Amino acid sequence: MLQIHIEKSIGPQHQRQQLAIDVELAAGEVLALSGPSGVGKTTLLRLIAGLEQPDAGTIHFADTLWSDPANHYCLPTAKRRIGFVFQDYALFPHLTVTEQLRYGQRRTDPAGITYWLDRLELHAHRDHYPVQLSGGQRQRLALARALIGEPQLLLLDEPLSALDAGLRQDLQTLLTQIFLDRRITTVLVSHDAGEIFRLADRLLQLTESGPARLGTPTELLLGSLTPGRCTLHATVLALQPSAVMVTAVLSIGHDRITTLISPGEAASLHIGMSVLVELNGTSAVLRPHKAAT
């Protein structure tokens, strides 16, 4: 069981925020983290991993104390039996696929390397360097390197965010199978609602103000829906005026959509702006959204 009861001051000096987390995970449970940029999702993973220290509180895994700043105690990261997949994968450019996996092992085990090469479809690339791999192959390699060390805890920081929809779905399927087979306690950062529903048992929503919200994905993501209406976060890519209306080109996740808006709506928007898109039937309303700092 992972027990996190910590506080941490985060953000730039002139705009500090308080990250306060009080959550416990059962063995084999998958917890998703979501929330806008700057609220502490990656920081929480780093605190769990021992790469940063909380200001107050404790972190326990099973019966082992990992962090206790009040008593100046921090179990070294290397002794925490974790697997960490970073957003940028953090692969070693000078090591081949096989060498990356050998580095991740806790003990020399050629059979283990063969198993994960086969399981993640990397066997044909075993002698390749990261620069020779596609994005999906690099992602699978980062996952294999995290898993080959037989971690008790898996930390995934938006591991699929840079992949296209097809690759994301394939790797979501793979992760689902691994979670079922291995029952590894996992903390997953994700902004993808479908991914959260598919992979997570519970969701911890971090906010810019107010306490974090903890519940099932159904409770937190579907509980406040208005029938026939939804709100999406998007980025304005282009504004194309015509004789009467303006065509807004928006980025929503990895998708691109267009919608017609009035010149009055367009006047409050600019390229690169974060907006809320309120959909109701066949209509769409765009409102500027203050991005987290």
- 45 versus 221: the higher-pLDDT residue is 45
Are 291 and 37 a contacting pair, CB within 8 Å? Answer: yes
- Cα–Cα distance for residue pair 114/240, rounded to 1 Å: 53
Neighbours of 236 (CB within 10 A): 19
Could you tell me if residue 10 is inside a domain?
A: yes
Q: How far apart are the first and last CA of the chain?
A: 33
Report if residue 293 sits inside a domain: no
Torsion angle of C-alpha atoms 275, 8, 197, 139, degrees rounded to 10: 90
- 241 and 190, same structural domain? no
Q: Is residue 261 part of a domain?
A: yes
DSSP string, 74-122: E--GGGS-EEEE-TT----TTS-HHHHHHHH-SS--HHHHHHHHHHTT-
Same domain as 152, residue 87: yes
Please tell me which residue, 251 or 143, carries the higher pLDDT value.
143
For residue range 9-22, what is the model confidence (pLDDT) as tens digits?
A: 998 777 788 899 99
Which residues does residue 31 pair with via DSSP β-bridges, in sequence order? 187, 202
Q: Do 31 and 148 reside in the same domain of the chain?
A: yes
The tally of domains found in the chain comes to: 2
Q: Does residue 62 sit within a domain?
A: yes
The overall average pLDDT reported for the chain is 87
Q: What is the CATH number of the domain that holds 137?
A: 3.40.50.300
- Domain presence at residue 279: yes
| Same domain membership, residue 209 and residue 147 | yes
Indicate whether 163 and 215 sit together in one domain. Answer: yes
From the list 223, 205, 222, the residue with the least C-alpha distance to 214 is 205
What CATH number is attached to the domain comprising 284? Answer: 2.40.50.100
Q: Please tell me whether residues 191 and 240 are part of one structural domain.
A: no
217 and 254 share one domain: no
28-41 tens-digit pLDDT = 999 999 988 889 99
Average pLDDT over every residue of 108-117 = 93
For residue 239, CA distances in Å to 83, 140, 288 come to 43, 38, 14
DSSP strands (E only) in 99-228 = 153-157, 185-189, 202-205, 213-215
- Which residue among 222, 247, 277 closes a domain? 222
Rounded percentage of the chain residues whose pLDDT exceeds 90: 49
Residue 247 maps to a domain: yes
Task: List, for residues 94-103, the tens digit of each pLDDT value.
Answer: 999 999 999 9
- 77 with 195, same domain: the answer is yes
Whether residues 161 and 237 fall in one domain: no
Out of 222, 252, 268, pick the residue that ends a domain: 222
Mean pLDDT of 154-165: 82
Helix 110-119 to helix 135-148 angle (10° resolution) is: 140
DSSP 8-class letter at 69: G
* Top-confidence residue, 200 or 259: 200
Does 291 score more than 70 pLDDT? no
Contact 244, 265 (CB under 8 A): no
β-bridge partners, 236: 250
Adjacent-strand bridge partners of 25: 2
Angle CA 156–161–162, to nearest 5: 120
Read off the pLDDT of residues 160-189 as tens digits, 9 standing for 90 and up.
876 777 777 888 888 888 888 889 999 999
Q: State the Cα–Cα distance between residues 182 and 200, nearest whole angstrom.
A: 15
Based on the domain organization, do 140 and 236 belong to the same domain? Answer: no
pLDDT at site 292: 40
Query: Do residue 240 and residue 161 come from a single domain?
Result: no
pLDDT band at 281 (very low <50, low <70, confident <90, very high): low
The sign of the CA dihedral 214, 215, 221, 226 is negative
Does position 151 have pLDDT exceeding 90, yes or no? yes
pTM of the predicted structure, to 2 decimals: 0.76
Rounded-to-integer distance, Cα 30 and Cα 25, Å: 8
Token digits of residue 157 = 């920081």
Q: Which domain, by its residues, includes 193?
A: 2-222
* Contacts (Cβ under 8 Å, ≥6 apart) of 196: 32, 34, 188, 190, 203, 217, 221
pLDDT of residue 24: 96
Percent of the chain surpassing pLDDT 70: 93
Domain-located, residue 7: yes
133 and 242 housed in the same domain:
no
Assigned token pair, 158: 């938006």
191, 198, 120: which is closest to 157 by C-alpha? 191
Per-residue pLDDT band at 293 (split at 50, 70, 90): very low
- Tell me the three state secondary structure of residue 248: strand
End-of-domain residue from the set 203, 222, 241:
222
